[in-house]
Amino acid sequence: MSTQITAKMVNDLRHVTGAGLMKCKAALVETNGDVEAATTLLRKQGEASAAKKAGRDAKEGIVESYIHLGGKVGVLIEVNCETDFVARNDDFKAFVKDICLHIAAAAPTAVTREEMPAEDVEKEREIAAAQADGKPPMAVQKIVEGKLEKFYAQSVLLDQPFVKNPDQTIRELVTATIQKTGENIQIRRFTRYQLGA
């Protein structure tokens, strides 16, 4: 027995995922009206779609600034997309503003894991190994890897939970925005200033 797919269900799914109406309807049909399963399906499709677009040049975009806490914290960011059309799009601008706000609040150190200073990663690895001292070698390795994952989730922008929606990482937010705009989007770089720091 198949579930009746209503316009409200399609709209609700579109609001949650940012996917197009036809994709939302198709996902609901495929999952027999199960909104959670449809959301997961669309996320997987979005990640696959984003992976295909990742190789495309993103040379347009905007530089955005954000000042928080009465001038005590400031952020300057460059986010790139493929066309000037998307760069002027309200959804893209809102996405960039959200990333600025997130950086002001969460204080990441780097955009990607690869950009993390090697000495910082090594220091975290040594601390985690010292804390796990005395445990079996296999357990030490797992503890160290687990602590490094936590370190990345706190320090790397793309791995951080989004401050406006902690169930979503910044990487997942970028993927959803790529799916919505149909273009490759890259957070190129940022600088976070904090008074007295």
**Pair 19, 41 in one domain:** yes
* 105 and 67 within one domain: yes
Q: Which pLDDT does position 5 carry in this prediction? A: 84
What pLDDT, on a 0 to 100 scale, did the predictor assign at position 46? 65
Asked if 133 and 163 sit in the same domain, the reply is no
Judgement on whether residues 98 and 129 belong to the same structural domain of the protein: no
Over its length of 197 residues, how does the chain's per-residue pLDDT go in tens digits? Answer: 467 888 888 888 777 766 777 788 888 888 888 888 887 887 777 655 555 555 566 778 999 999 987 889 999 999 999 888 989 999 999 999 999 999 999 999 999 999 999 999 999 988 888 888 888 888 888 888 999 999 999 999 999 999 999 999 999 999 888 888 888 899 999 999 998 87
Q: Looking at the structure, tell me whether residues 136 and 42 fall in a common domain.
A: no
| Cβ atoms of 118 and 107 closer than 8 Å | no
CATH code assigned at 48: 1.10.8.10
Is 1 among the domain residues? no
Give the Cα separation of 101 and 27 in Å (integer). 32
Q: Which of 163, 150, 173 minimizes the C-alpha distance to 75? A: 163
pLDDT of residue 23: 82
Whole-number Cα distances in Å, 84 to 59, 60, 87, 92, 188 = 9, 6, 5, 11, 16
Number of domains into which the chain is organized: 3
Same domain, 150 and 187: no
Domain extent for 174: 60-112+156-194
**What CATH number has the domain bearing residue 87?**
3.30.479.20
Q: Which of 34, 71, 64, 1 is nearest to 190 (CA)?
A: 64
Question: Is residue 91 domain-shared with residue 171, that is, in the same domain?
Answer: yes
**What DSSP element (H or E) covers 159?**
none
